[in-house]
Structure 1
C-alpha cells in the first residue's frame, strides 16, 4: 500500500488529492480538498502574475503540504497548468514557491496536460473512440483518440475564467449578446482543430465544470443512483442544461441542485463549450469522466514503476477485481461459482431454454463471481447491501445501466426484491427483468451447489429427455449441505425449464 499526493495548481482552483494504491484494490482517493484560488485573475494584461496571486498560491501550498505530511504520503507531486504556464514571470513564481514552501512545482506543458487527461479516460472507461474536452480556468484541451490511441491533441489559451472575463465583464451570465459573441468566438477557435469535425464519436467531458453539468442534469431528472463517472447525456440533455442556466437569475443559480457555488459565475461558458463541440463533432453522446489530469498523472507515475498496472484493454476486469478484493470475496469459491454458472447456462442454451447475448452473458459471469458481496457488511441483509453497493459505486468501464444490471444480478434473491430494486430506476423492460430473474436464479442455484465452499461439485449435466428433467451433479467429497440447499433452490431452474427437475448427485 502506498500513498501519493497531488496538488493540482489550476487557473480556477488549487486542489490536493491523496491517492492510496494497492495492486489488489487499485487506486483509491482518500482525501480531496480545494480552495477556489482563481489565479488567472491575478494575471495582468501583459501576462505577469501579481504579488497578490503569488501570495495566494504560496499560502495554499503551505497548507496543503502540511495536510499531505499528516497523511504520510510517500511522494508529493505539485503540478501547475495554464495559470502558471501563461505567466510571463513563471520562473520567478516557481523560485518563490521553492524558497517559501520547499517544493518543486512541475510545470505541465499543453501537450502533456492533454495526454494525462486522455490517459485517464482511456484507462478508466471502455470508450474506444472519442474526443475529450478538459476545460479549466485558463485553458481548454482537446484530444481525439481512436482504438484508445491518441491521434491528435491541442490546447487553447482560454478557459471558464478567461471566457467569463472576455465576454461577461459587468454583464449577467445570461446576456444574449455576450453569449452570441462567445459562441462565435468558440466556433472560430475550435475550427483550428479540423480533426474533430464530423467525427461522430463520443464527446467526453473532464474536470469540475463537466462534473457540474452532469450533476445539474441528474438533479433535473431526479436521477435514481449515485455517481457521475460514465454518466451519459444526449444533445437535447446538454441543451436542457444550457436553457436552464440561461433562464435562472444569479440568485436562483445559488439554489440550483448540482451546481457548486464557486462555479456559479463560470458554468455558462463551460456548457456553451460543450454544446458547440457536440455540434461540431456531430457527437453520438456526451459522457462525463470523473477521472482526468490528476488521476492520469498519478496512474502514469505508478505504471512506470509497476509494469502491468492500469491496462486500458482490461478496464472492467480490473475494476471488478478491485471491488471483489475490497469486499473480501473468497476467490476460489467465486471462481467455482462462476464455472458452474457458465456450465449450466451453456446447457440451458443448447437445450433452447435460454438465449443470452454476449454483453449480458459477460455481466452474468461477473455477477456469479461477485454474488452477495454485501454479506461483508451484514449476512442477514446481503441482497440489499449488494444491490446498493454495486448500483451506487463508480465502476470503471461500465455504463450506469450496465452497472445496475450487474447489481440486480449480483443481489438476486427473489422476484419481489428484484422488482423492488428494478423499479427504482425503471431502466429495464419487462423482458429484460425476466431475463435478469432467470440468470439471477441460475447464480443463486449454483451458489447452493457450493454452499460449503469446499468446491465438492465439479461437473453438471442436464437431461431434458427424461420426465421429470434430470440434472446430474458430479462431485467428490461430502456434499451434504449442497444436496439440501440445491433442492431448496431448484425452483429457480424449474421456472426456466417450465418443468420439474430431479437432481441426482453422483460420486465421481
Structure 2
C-alpha cells in the first residue's frame, strides 16, 4: 500500500488531496484540504507577489506538508499555476516555500493544467463531446473533447481575481463596467478558431467560481449535501437567473446568498463572466459540474499514464490576447 498526494497552488486558493493506493492500483481518497490564500492579490501590471500574500500562502503550504508527511510510503506532488507562473519574483517565492514549508513546487504551464483537468474529468464523468472550462483566480483553461479525446486546448491569462482588480471598480458593478468586461472576454473567445467546433456542445465547469453556481442552485433546491456537485447539471435559464441575482447585489448582499462563500463574494461577479459569456458564445443549453480537475488528473497520470487518451492535440497559450497587459 502506498499514498499519493497533490498540492494545487492556485491564484486564489491552495488545495491538497491525498489517496491510499493498494497493490491492485485501486485508490481511496483519505484527505482533502482547502484554504483561501489570495496569492495573486495586488500583483498588478508589475506581476510581483506581495509579501503578505506569500506569507499566508507559505503558512498554509507548511500545514499541508506536515499533514501529508504523516502518511507512509508517500509520493507528494505540488503544482503552482497562474499566479506563480506569471510572477516576476517567482524564484524568490519558490525558494521561500522550499526553505520554510519544505515543499518543492513545480510551476506548470497553462496547457499542462488543462491536460490535468481533462484527465480528472474524462475518468470520472461520462463525457464524449464537450467543452471544458476551468476558471481560476488568474487563468482560464478551455479544453475541447471530441469522441472522448482531447482535441484542442488553450490557457487564457484571465480569472476571477485579476479580472476583478482590473474591471470591477463599483459596488455593485455598473452597467458600463459589466459591458466592458463581457466585451473583453468575448473578444478573447473570437480569437480562438477552434471554438466553432464547440457550437451547441454541453459545457463542463471546473474552478471555484463556476462551482459556486451549482452550490447556489443546490441550496435553492434544498439539497442536504449542497457541496456535492460532481455531475450536477444546470440549464441555461437557471444559470442566467443566478447570474442576474449576483450582479444585481452589492457585496454585503452577495455575502448573504446561500451557497456563495463569503470569501468569494468580492470576486464572484468577474469570476462568472467567462462561463456565462461562453454559454452564449457557443449556444450551449447545459452546464455539468466537475469537482475533479488538476489534482485528480495528476492522480490518473500517476496511475495510468496518458498516452492512450491523447488525440492529435492542438495546444495554444493565450498570452498574446492578454487584456491585463493593456
TM-score band, normalised by shorter chain: 0.7 to 0.9
For normalisation by structure 2, the TM-score amounts to 0.87
Which residues of 2 match residues 59-458 of structure 1 at below 5 A?
59-72=59-72, 74-169=74-169, 171-197=170-196, 199-223=199-223, 227-304=228-305
How far the C-alpha of 1:193 sits from its partner, in A, is 1.5
How far the C-alpha of 1:23 sits from its partner, in A, is 6.8
Which residues of 2 match residues 497-508 of structure 1 at below 5 A?
none
Which structure is higher in helix share?
1
Which structure is higher in strand share?
2
Would the alpha carbon gap of residues 216 and 24 (structure 1) be closer, same or farther in structure 2, given more than 3 Å must change? farther
How far the C-alpha of 1:285 sits from its partner, in A, is 1.5
In 1: Cα distance, 2:249 partner to 2:51 partner: 36
CA deviation profile, 1:401-420 (whole Å, cap 9, x unmatched): xxxxxxxxxxxxxxxxxxxx
How far the C-alpha of 1:221 sits from its partner, in A, is 3.0
How far the C-alpha of 1:158 sits from its partner, in A, is 1.0
Runs of at least 5 residues in structure 2 that lack an aligned partner in the other structure: 311-326
- Asked whether the equivalents of residues 19 and 30 of structure 1 are also in contact (C-alpha less than 8 Å), the reply is yes
Q: Secondary structure at the match of 2:230?
A: coil
In 1: Cα distance, 2:285 partner to 2:66 partner: 45
Q: Secondary structure at the match of 1:104?
A: coil
CA deviation profile, 1:152-208 (whole Å, cap 9, x unmatched): 111111100011111113x11443221111111110112121211352111110122
Q: Secondary structure at the match of 2:21?
A: strand
In 1: Cα distance, 2:94 partner to 2:189 partner: 31
Would the alpha carbon gap of residues 246 and 23 (structure 1) be closer, same or farther in structure 2, given more than 3 Å must change? farther
CA deviation profile, 1:445-468 (whole Å, cap 9, x unmatched): xxxxxxxxxxxxxxxxxxxxxxxx
In 1: Cα distance, 2:23 partner to 2:8 partner: 25
How far the C-alpha of 1:34 sits from its partner, in A, is 2.1
For normalisation by structure 1, the TM-score amounts to 0.57
Q: How many residues align?
A: 308
How far the C-alpha of 1:49 sits from its partner, in A, is 1.9
- Asked whether the equivalents of residues 131 and 201 of structure 2 are also in contact (C-alpha less than 8 Å), the reply is yes
- Asked whether the equivalents of residues 42 and 52 of structure 1 are also in contact (C-alpha less than 8 Å), the reply is no
Q: Secondary structure at the match of 2:186?
A: helix
Q: Secondary structure at the match of 1:70?
A: coil
- Asked whether the equivalents of residues 12 and 137 of structure 2 are also in contact (C-alpha less than 8 Å), the reply is yes
How far the C-alpha of 1:151 sits from its partner, in A, is 1.0
Would the alpha carbon gap of residues 27 and 255 (structure 1) be closer, same or farther in structure 2, given more than 3 Å must change? farther
Would the alpha carbon gap of residues 178 and 106 (structure 1) be closer, same or farther in structure 2, given more than 3 Å must change? same
How far the C-alpha of 1:73 sits from its partner, in A, is 6.0
RMSD (Å) for aligned C-alpha atoms: 2.4
How far the C-alpha of 1:122 sits from its partner, in A, is 1.1
Q: Secondary structure at the match of 1:29?
A: strand
Question: Which residue matches 2:54?
Answer: 54
- Asked whether the equivalents of residues 11 and 138 of structure 1 are also in contact (C-alpha less than 8 Å), the reply is yes
- Asked whether the equivalents of residues 4 and 19 of structure 2 are also in contact (C-alpha less than 8 Å), the reply is yes
In 1: Cα distance, 2:153 partner to 2:111 partner: 7
How far the C-alpha of 1:240 sits from its partner, in A, is 1.0
- Asked whether the equivalents of residues 5 and 76 of structure 1 are also in contact (C-alpha less than 8 Å), the reply is yes
- Which one has the largest radius of gyration? 1
How far the C-alpha of 1:134 sits from its partner, in A, is 0.3
